[in-house]
Amino acid sequence: MKVGIDRIGFYTARYYLPLETLAHQRGVAYEKFRTGLGQERMAVAPPDEDIVTLAASAAEPLLREDGVENIDLLLFATESGIDQSKSAGLFAHGLLGLPPACRVVELKEACYGGTAALQLAAAMVARRPGSKTLVLASDIARYELGSPGEPTQGCGAVAMLVSADPRILALDPERGLHAEDVMDFWRPNYRDEALVDGKYSTRVYLSTVVETWQRYAKESGRSVDDFARFCYHLPFTNIARKAHERLLKSAGRDAVTPEQIEAAVGGGLAYNRQTGNSYCASLYESLVCLFDQCAENLEGRRLGLFSYGSGCMGEFFSGVVQPGYRQQLRTEQHQRLLADRTELTYQEYEDIFNLKVPQDGWDYAFAQYRTGTFRFGGIAGHKRRYERAA
């Protein structure tokens, strides 16, 4: 029985800061961000968007079209948690009108959470093939102002419906896993911004690519020639090129040209270049981008996916693109979303950055910004209040 991604949708905030503006403000050459990191814009969530509204807005169009019937599991993957106890998934469950006979939990392992959710969803669907799981991967990436991580900030959410006989991507059972206790990037409970040992995190990411690929190749017996394209977790897009070069070299391909690398990974980079890091959603944002933008028909072709979460947990896995997948995509809506965003000035970005959710226990109503279908309206009696956007 095939199990995998039946529908997939992406949403990001309606505001962005051009990295040219940030480079100018920080006295850095824009080329460092544009060519060195491979980033052009960062998506900025206004005060009335959070991981719940981003995720619910990514899922709502899919559920409007497909209905909520048979969804008996909602897995919410995030590292920008809003509550130490209640799952962000329950807020999304309410907003999306999902059935009450549904398991709802939140998962965390840095940016790997989305992949943990997808693989657990596939296992649960295999156990009850008539059921569906809604996977929500949603994050807002924050680093300190002026830090090396700042130009890689961003936000976004991907919603995936996982089912038997999926219409987009059937997941293969083989995988290469790698877990290791390292401190490359973390966010203690008392901080809003991540702490990161940037260069070290990049080295651990790249060595994890090799570990997971080698385990995957051994288990599956497949070689790099068995894949049409590769998608990588994208903290910044240039890392995909370095990662793929490492993977090819570890697979014994020494004479690798930039053209070969571009052909394998280039198709999945454009959206992330415009949004920045969306942590748990990042790999799946890249997958959506590949589906939306790849001119070649990928039906029947195998894709390789590398997921990385700091701390660290890595997985290389794969899936086969299903016949007719293009009819299930939301290409036009995704492209319109990215094209129709409001540009911020540097000062507007810094004001939003500093406007944190109040922690003093008073009631607050947040001003209406441009949002998706849902907005975070405010706080009353320590309870977050969500509503449909006007």
* Residues acting as catalytic residues: 79, 111, 233
**List of long-range contacts for 84-88, beta carbons under 8 Å, 24+ apart:** 84/189, 88/51, 88/52, 88/55, 88/138
Cβ closest to ligand HMG, residue 325 vs residue 349: 349
Nearer to ligand HMG, 201 or 274 (CB): 201
276 lies in the binding site for ligand HMG (CB under 6 A): no
What are phi and psi for residue 164, nearest 5 degrees? Answer: -75, 155
Element (H, E) at 136: strand 132-141
Look at strands 185-186 and 195-196 and give their pairing.
Answer: antiparallel
Residue 168: strand, helix, or coil: coil
Alpha-carbon distance 316 to 298, whole Å?
20
Any contact of residue 205 with ligand HMG (CB under 6 A)?
yes
278 touches ligand HMG by CB under 6 A: no
- Taking the least distance from each CB to ligand HMG, the nearer of 16 and 279 is 279
Q: Report in angstroms how near the CB of residue 186 gets to ligand HMG at its nearest.
A: 9
C-beta closer to ligand HMG: residue 205 or 291:
205
Q: Shortest approach of ligand HMG to residue 99 CB, angstroms?
A: 31
> 307 phi and psi, to 5 degrees?
-110, 135
Q: Which residue has the tokens 């009696």?
A: 381
Would you count residue 314 as binding ligand HMG (CB under 6 A)? no
Q: Which of residues 108-127 bind ligand HMG (CB under 6 A)?
A: 110-111
Closest by CA to 285, choosing from 213, 233, 343, 212, is: 233
Q: How far is the CB of 33 from ligand HMG (least distance, A)?
A: 8
The residue from 55, 73, 196, 247 that contacts ligand HMG (CB under 6 A) is: 196
Helix axes 19-26, 346-354, angle to 10 degrees: 90
Cβ of residue 116: shortest distance to ligand HMG, in angstroms?
12
Q: Which of 53, 78, 201, 328 binds ligand HMG (CB under 6 A)?
A: 201
Decide whether 228 or 234 has the Cβ nearer to ligand HMG: 234
Rank residues 27 and 97 by Cβ distance to ligand HMG and give the closer one. Answer: 27
From candidates 277, 286, 318, 322, binder to ligand HMG by CB under 6 A: 277
Copy the structure tokens of residue 358. 């109040």
Going across the sheet that includes 71-77, the strands are 103-107, 71-77, 132-141, 154-164, 3-11, 169-179, 313-321, 302-309, 229-232
User: According to the binding rule CB under 6 A, does residue 198 interact with ligand HMG?
Assistant: yes
> CB count, 10 Å around CB of 127?
9
- Of positions 50, 60, 79, 172, contacts ligand HMG by CB under 6 A: 79
One-character DSSP codes across 278-291: -GGGHHHHHHHHHH
Residue 344 DSSP one-character state: P
**Closer residue to ligand HMG in complex, CB, 7/187:** 187
The size of the interface with ligand HMG (CB under 6 A), counted in residues, is 28
Q: Where are the alpha helices (DSSP H) in the chain?
A: 19-26, 30-31, 51-66, 88-96, 113-127, 198-220, 238-250, 258-265, 270-275, 282-293, 331-339, 346-354
Q: Is 36 in the site for ligand HMG (CB under 6 A)?
A: yes
Residue 81 touches ligand HMG, criterion: CB under 6 A: no
Does residue 310 belong to the site contacting ligand HMG (CB under 6 A)? yes
Residue numbers 211-240 binding ligand HMG by CB under 6 A: 233, 235-236
Q: What is the binding site for ligand HMG (CB under 6 A)?
A: 29, 31-32, 35-37, 79, 110-111, 148-149, 152, 184-185, 196, 198-199, 201-202, 205, 233, 235-236, 277, 279, 308-310
